[in-house]
Amino acid sequence: MYHHPDLTPFTPRQRPSLRAAATNMIENWPSQAYRDDYAMMRGIWPILPKTLLLSDPALIEEVLIAKAEKFSRDRFQTRALANAVNRQSVFFAEGADWRWQRRAVSPAFRHDKLQALIPTFIQCAYSLAQEWRHAPQDAIIDVAPAMSRVTFDIILTAVLGAGAQDFDREKFLAAINPSLSTIAWRFLYARIGVPSFLPFPGASRVAESVDWLHNALTTLVAQRRASAGDHADILGLLLSARDPETGRIMNDEELVSNLYTFMIAGHETSATALGWTLWLLAHDQTSQQRVREEIQTIIGDRDIVVEDVEKIIFTRQTLQESMRLFPPAIGVGRAPIEDIDIGPHKIRAGELAIIAGWCVHRHEKIWDDPNGFDPDRFSTESAKGRHRCAYLPFGAGPRICIGMNFAMLEMTVILATLTRHFRFSLVPGHHIELATNLTLRSKNGLPLNISPL
């Protein structure tokens, strides 16, 4: 067995702890989930429903794909993540409402729309590279917030088009902060059954900022409705979306909810994945050099163009391997609508199934050297025959992440732009402690030494 202490920053706990539930909840996932098909979650609190942690691809396929319509989202996750701004979005909708919303938002993520966004990806990545060029030689930069900034710029342009210029991004980012930074509390309260009317630290700031966000986005939608002309951005597509069967269009609450969801889900996740990727490449200089050489061979010294993105295969594999080791979403939760059999298990209505992406990605039976970093695992040759649910950074089945291709394109462009211009190395003495908030973050950031090439 190989040892990668930096890449396995904790040991699964024998007994679940409240502290872990509030900081890094994966610590409470039992070690069997990395060896066996499933594990039973032990409750920290007696009122927690029975929870089955699934880490076998075939069982996961049953839940997410074959019997998908028999499950709804996990109500604890919904309680922790939903608020007055986002609760009517495609992310939280269920049944027929979800189906229509998913149909309505899908055109915004079609291949041709994404291709048209590549110049925006290139331009935003290039602006960040320019900024870093002016940093002092060998500056230490925390790449986690830097990645959030660049992916936020991108999603803003994708959603609002030219309107992104007038958008007060600083105020928006300040307003989402209280919600994001208290998610761990809300998860904890939800999971241990604290009633939702009881405040948690920071609750009043969350309420204020959610009000502000709701008003700001409602005004934005109203302004756009009043303005003339068609817009090719995501907001424009949502405004013109019409259900082909019923003719239904989105009301203002649904529009605001989806805008907010795209703005958050569309930048936090990709930023997290990019941060971990740069950190892993700093850890593995050989792979970093291979990414750089691939870009040199395929792109040389000219600007990146749309056609390059599909050709830089190792760069893409690096992102895939990074999301295997550090998936931005550690898992997805599901609750059966009625009693159901999954493999040999009977899951009753009211109980929970957690699809433990983190454990599947480090499962002893699925991967050689599961905790080691090796982008070649995602070469066509090596990936051949791998179960479709053995790798789940974006989930699977009908509710698979709608922004998957958007994110892969965007991240490939950003990674290529940064790696060709800078060398990344680890800061001695910095150690990783994981924090499971909205996404899987490093508690003390991802500071790296960055030197221009």
- Per CB under 6 A, residues contacting ligand HEM are 90-91, 102, 261-262, 265-266, 269-270, 273, 328-329, 332, 393-395, 399, 401-403, 406-407
Report the residue closest to ligand HEM, judged by CB.
403
User: Which residue, 144 or 423, has its beta carbon nearer to ligand HEM?
Assistant: 144
DSSP states of 61-80 as a string?
HIIIIITGGGEEE-HHHHHH
Residue 415 vs 423, nearer CB to ligand HEM: 415
Q: Which residues does 351 contact at the CB level (< 8 Å), separation at least 6?
A: 49, 50, 51, 52, 335, 336
- CB of 265 or CB of 356, closer to ligand HEM: 265
- What are the C-alpha distances in Å from 217 to residues 45, 84, 211, 221? 39, 12, 10, 6
Name which of 49, 50, 26 is nearest 345 in CA terms.
50
Task: Read off the tokens for 43.
Answer: 């409750």
Give the residue with the Cβ less far from ligand HEM, 89 or 419.
89
Smallest gap from Cβ 300 to ligand HEM, in A, equals: 28
Question: Given the complex with ligand HEM, which of 70 and 205 has the nearer CB atom?
Answer: 70
Cβ at position 96, least distance to ligand HEM in Å = 13
* Cα separations in angstroms, 443 against 9, 176, 438, 446: 11, 18, 13, 9
Closest residue by Cα to residue 71 from 94, 39, 98, 103: 94
Q: Whole-number minimum distance, CB 401 to ligand HEM, in Å?
A: 3
Q: Indicate the residue among 259 and 432 with the shorter CB distance to ligand HEM.
A: 259
Nearest CA-CA partner of 270 in 332, 309, 323, 330: 323
The pair of three-digit structure tokens given for residue 213, joined into one six-digit string: 């966000």
**Which lies closer to ligand HEM via its Cβ, residue 316 or residue 423?**
316
**Cα–Cα separations (whole angstroms), residue 444 to 5, 119, 430:** 17, 33, 9
447-452 vs 422-426, strand pairing mode: antiparallel
- Residue 21 vs 60, nearer CB to ligand HEM: 60
Least distance (Å) between residue 15 CB and ligand HEM: 28
Cβ closer to ligand HEM: 254 or 423? 254
DSSP 194-220: --TTS--TTHHHHHHHHHHHHHHHHHH
CB of 133 to ligand HEM, least distance (A): 26
Which is closer to ligand HEM, CB of 276 or CB of 423? 276
Phi and psi, residue 139, nearest 5° = -65, 150
Report which of 184, 160, 186 is spatially closest to residue 172, judged by C-alpha positions.
160
Q: Least distance from C-beta 73 to ligand HEM, angstroms? A: 7
Nearer to ligand HEM, 37 or 74 (CB): 74
* Nearest approach, Cβ of residue 407 and ligand HEM (Å): 4
- Residue 195 CB, shortest distance to ligand HEM, in Å, is 26
Asked if residue 249 lies in contact with residue 259, where contact means CB atoms within 8 angstroms, the answer is no
How many C-beta atoms surround the C-beta of residue 362 within 10 A?
A: 20
CB of 410 to ligand HEM, least distance (A): 7
At closest approach, how far in Å is the CB of 365 from ligand HEM? 22
Buried b / exposed e over 67-102, threshold 16 CB at 10 Å, is beebbbbbebbbebbbbebbbbbbbbbeeeebbbbe
Output the smallest distance, CB 270 to ligand HEM, in A.
4
Amino acid residing at 273? A
Q: Is 213 exposed, middle or buried (0-12, 13-18, 19+ CB in 10 A)?
A: buried
